[in-house]
Amino acid sequence: MKLLLVSLQSNASLIGLKYVAAGARAHGHDARILFLPGYLENGLHPEIEKFVRDYGPDLIGVGLMSIEFYPAKKLTSLLKKKFDVPVIWGGVHAIIRPEECVKCSDYVCIGEGERVIVSLLEHLKIRGRNVPPEIPGIWTNHNGAIIKQPVAQPEKDLDSLPIQEYLPGYLYGFHNNAIYDFSRNQGLFRRYALYGGTCHMMITTRGCPFQCSYCGNSAFMSVYGKKVRERSVSSVMDEIREVIKDPFVLYINFQDDCFFTHSEEWVADFCAQYKKHVGLPFIARVIPTMMSREKLLMLRDAGLCWVVMGIQSGSDRVNFEVYHRRVRFSAVKKAADIISETGAAAFYEMIVDNPYETEEEKVETVRALATLKKPYIVSLAHLTFFPGTPLADKAVKDNIVTPEAYLFRYLLNIDDTYPNKLLAVTPCVPRLLVGYLNRPESMRTGLRALILNTVHFTVKRFIEPSVFLFITTRSLHYRMDRVARTVLGNWRSTLSRLASKYLGKGDLEFGRRLEAARKSMPELFDDRG
């Protein structure tokens, strides 16, 4: 059986689809991944049609985040007009909104897809598509009747799943009206991959110990449960040993919600093997209250260079009462101090555009951020109200957002406001200047606004890139060969972000295409199903 997996996202780092494809291939099926970044057209391009026809898939899978709902809906309708092939949707949006997704497709996967897809391929091979599958984790649209199967049990033995490749030989991409085999056009792959393809994105756990009100994990827990599942050190090392055979892989980027959920024994074993067999720098994420000096020192010695930490807000009330995130800023400051001691590069994430945050709390957040030890980089994310989360339910009930607002807004597409600009520049300017500019709206003067706009332009174009370069160089122990490779690998994404202040070029183009489609294809948006 042949499986074609399609992604519409703007970057080619396709962790989920690569796992699903590897699972299908491990069970004797053939699989390909087709990367169609931001594809939203009235017709199916001839090259895409030819690719699908030549491959002849028995099942087409579309993986989607929420922002890709309407593009996925349009692409599925175009594929169905040309091919008599069943289509299954999966991914984040399929899990949080299966009711609307199943109206657009033949099947919806409402959980982890590796084993579900294999079972569906076997079902189609033996019984055909006219018999609705009785497979846990699948909803079926059978001649307009929706047949719901129970949620499948989450995979307990993550080591039993095939390892993910860095650049599999079955990954294809649509670029300049042609389809390319990325494994034979690695420069093109790196153009679309995050961080210029210098990082291998991987996970060592599934799940998160927190249940924040704004996060999709709070909706996923009904599917996956609350327990954080982990891979063994040997499984993790098997994957890394394979991917570092590609000479362009410079970093291992661990995408776990919190790498520090691993026990001290696991971390010690990992560090010993990583130092012995790998030696490349790596990136990991941490929740402030789970920071451990002992683990951090071991990881830093093994090669940890960047630490990504979510702060979200400098206001304890907002974190506790709005976000249901029981992390006081005192814990953030303590964790940041430990990171600073080690010389690791610090990357702190904040949530902005929160309608439940007062002017005073925005001022408090800036003031709190300014107390953290420099240097560090801050990343701002627009508060997106994902369906199925407690905060989204509250915001819709309070008439603050429409139920489908999340379908049209990127996380990094933040509002161009005074507080957001000030928060963005806080890591790169003197605290005295931050204190002068940090005022509630009623106390801001025209002079303050002028100064902030000037500072913001200067910081985002000149100072922040310099800070980024410095902390990267320091975190790499001044290994200039690695610094040079980092700069060369990331120059395209860096330039695009400098030009647009926050978003990458692919995100901007996708956003424009979606807005244009609302005018040129109004029928696509009239009915969610």
pLDDT of res. 387:
86
pLDDT of res. 503:
52
**Per-residue pLDDT reduced to its tens digit, 347-378:** 999 999 999 999 999 999 999 999 999 999 99
Does 53 score more than 80 pLDDT? yes
Comparing 227 with 266, the larger pLDDT belongs to 266
Helix, strand and coil in the chain, % to nearest 5: 50, 15, 35
pLDDT of res. 509:
75
**Per-residue pLDDT reduced to its tens digit, 425-457:** 999 999 999 999 999 999 999 999 999 999 999
Nearest-angstrom CA–CA distance, 518 and 346? 39
pLDDT of res. 494:
58
14 and 121 inside one domain = yes
Q: Is residue 187 part of a domain?
A: no
154 and 247 inside one domain = no
Comparing 27 with 484, the larger pLDDT belongs to 27
User: Residues 203-215: what's their mean pLDDT?
Assistant: 93
278 and 380 inside one domain = yes
Q: Is residue 517 part of a domain?
A: no
pLDDT of res. 274:
98
326 and 462 inside one domain = yes
Q: Is residue 334 part of a domain?
A: yes
Nearest-angstrom CA–CA distance, 423 and 402? 27
395 and 261 inside one domain = yes
Tell me, what CATH number does 122's domain have? 3.40.50.280
Contacts of 384 (CB under 8 A, 6+ apart): 214, 406, 409, 411
User: Residues 454-472: what's their mean pLDDT?
Assistant: 94
Closest CA to 202 of 126, 256, 270: 256
Does 498 score more than 70 pLDDT? no
Nearest-angstrom CA–CA distance, 450 and 269? 53
Which H or E run includes 141?
Answer: strand 138-142
142 and 255 inside one domain = no
Give the distance, in angstroms, between the CA of residue 65 and the centroid of all CA atoms in the same chain.
Answer: 9
User: Residues 129-152: what's their mean pLDDT?
Assistant: 96
pLDDT of res. 489:
78
**Per-residue pLDDT reduced to its tens digit, 383-393:** 999 988 999 99
If one counts the domains in the chain, the total is 2
**Per-residue pLDDT reduced to its tens digit, 168-196:** 999 999 999 999 999 999 999 999 998 88
Closest CA to 149 of 181, 112, 107: 107
pLDDT of res. 468:
92
Does 332 score more than 80 pLDDT? yes
User: Residues 494-503: what's their mean pLDDT?
Assistant: 51
Confidence of residue 506 (pLDDT cuts 50, 70, 90): low
327 and 452 inside one domain = yes
H helices present in 167-257, as ranges: 186-192, 216-224, 233-243
Does 211 score more than 70 pLDDT? yes
Does 129 score more than 80 pLDDT? yes
Average pLDDT of every residue of the chain: 93
Structure-token match 């012995």, residue found = 276
DSSP tag of 137: T
Own/partner long-range contacts of 320-325 (Cβ < 8 Å, ≥24 apart): 322/213, 322/354, 322/356, 322/357, 322/391, 323/212, 323/213, 323/214, 323/351, 323/391, 324/211, 324/212, 324/213, 324/218, 324/390, 325/210, 325/212, 325/213
Q: Is residue 216 part of a domain?
A: no
Q: Is residue 230 part of a domain?
A: no
Contacts of 243 (CB under 8 A, 6+ apart): 165, 166, 200, 202, 249, 252
Closest CA to 241 of 197, 278, 204, 198: 278
137 and 262 inside one domain = no
Confidence of residue 492 (pLDDT cuts 50, 70, 90): low
123 and 267 inside one domain = no
Dihedral (Cα; 244, 276, 206, 101), 10-degree rounding: 0
Q: Is residue 299 part of a domain?
A: yes
Tell me, what CATH number does 325's domain have? 3.80.30.20
Show the beta-strand stretches assigned E in 234-371: 251-254, 282-286, 304-312, 345-352
Domain range for 377: 193-200+236-511
Q: Is residue 169 part of a domain?
A: no
H helices present in 412-479, as ranges: 418-425, 431-437, 446-458, 464-475
pLDDT of res. 370:
98
221 token code pair: 């827990």
Q: Is residue 449 part of a domain?
A: yes
Greatest Cα-to-Cα distance within the chain, rounded to the nearest angstrom: 73
